[in-house]
Structure formats: C-alpha cells, structure tokens
Amino acid sequence: MRVAILTFDGFNELDSFIALGLLNRLSAQGWKAEIASPSKHVTSMNGVTVKAQQPLEFANEADAVIFGSGIYTRAIAEDHGKAGALLDRLQLDPLRQLIGAQCSGALLLARLGLLADMPACTDLTTKPWLVEAGVRVEEAPFHARGPIATAGGCLASQYLAAWMMLRGAGEVAARQALHYAAPVGEKEAYVERLLAVVRPFLPSA
C-alpha cells in the first residue's frame, strides 16, 4: 500500500507528520507513506522546511492519498482551473484509491469534485469556505463515505490514519500499529477510542 500525503507550502506539521508516522508503522505489511509535494522542498506554517519524498503527481498512482492542510490551501483551491494550477496536476480515482483530507484539505476535495453531496469535517477557519462552496459541514472529528474521508482538527489526523489502516490492512494490523504509538498506560483505552470513532464508517458497518 503506497500512500501519498499531499503537503504544500505553509503546511500544518501535525496533519502531515502524524499520518506519516502512524501509517508507516505498517511497513512490515508493505505499506509506505511518503510526503508528496509540488516542489522539491516545502516550508511549514511554522518555518520547518522538508524535502519532498515524491512529486505531487505521485498521488495519481498511489493506492491512497491524504490532503494535508495549511495556510495557503484556500489560494490553492481558488487557482483550480487557472494556468499552472497545482490541483490540475492531480487525476485521482476514488474507484481504486482511498482519499482523505485533513481540515482545509477538504476544500481541495470539494474543488476537485470528490465530495459530491457528502458532508465533510474540517477546522473552524475552513468551515465558512466549505459552506460557501456548497458543502455541508459536520460538527464531528471524522466522517467517511465509501473511499472518501475527512477529518476536522489537527489531532484528528489520527482518525484518518486509523481509517486507512482499517480499510487497507484490517483490524488486527491496525490495532497493533496504533497500540505501538499510543501513550503508555493508556494504550488499550486509546486504541479502543480511536477505533470507536472510525468503525461506524467502514463498509461492513
């Protein structure tokens, strides 16, 4: 399972790095999550510069894609359709890919037409922009329908990661990976809480 974590200039570190760290706990099962960016280097909202592991177009061939959020997401969304727009480099396919978005990343899903009529979760800053785009916003940390998921709030990135793990690797592998990362002394309760939030949105539910 190859996962593209789309990370643009001005990105939120929690959105990209929490998902990256959790999903790569499944490396023994053949998973590999990588930072995919439109340029060789991107700088976060707090001034952390990282080297992209993959170009933005890697998302088109990946098995799963996560749209991280950032301070320039609205501008990226508004550029869609214009010459040189970043989103025009993406050709995603929900029939073969799992696609998730974190906070303002949901606005990019909306611009790409991937949300259709489904509600979305996002952060408080992005909420009015999504409403303006005709999207119904859920007051919840996580929501998914089929292969599309959204999460609201920086630390809700753990729900996106857990959802992808459950969808792609099954509950046993997901539990083991999440258990490893969970706080000592709270591991069982922490994992159960994560799964309780995500499980209702699985196909079998």
Which residue in 9, 22, 16, 117 sits closest to 72, CA to CA? Answer: 9
Instruction: List, for residues 105-135, the tens digit of each pLDDT value.
Output: 999 999 999 998 999 999 999 999 999 999 9
- The percent of the chain in helix, strand and coil, each rounded to the nearest 5, is 40, 20, 40
Confidence of residue 82 (pLDDT cuts 50, 70, 90): confident
pTM, whole model, 2 decimals?
Answer: 0.94
CATH code of the region 2-201: 3.40.50.880
Residues 6 or more apart in contact with residue 205 via CB below 8 angstroms: 199
Long-range contacts of 202-205 (CB under 8 A, 24+ apart): 202/163, 202/166, 202/167, 203/146, 203/167
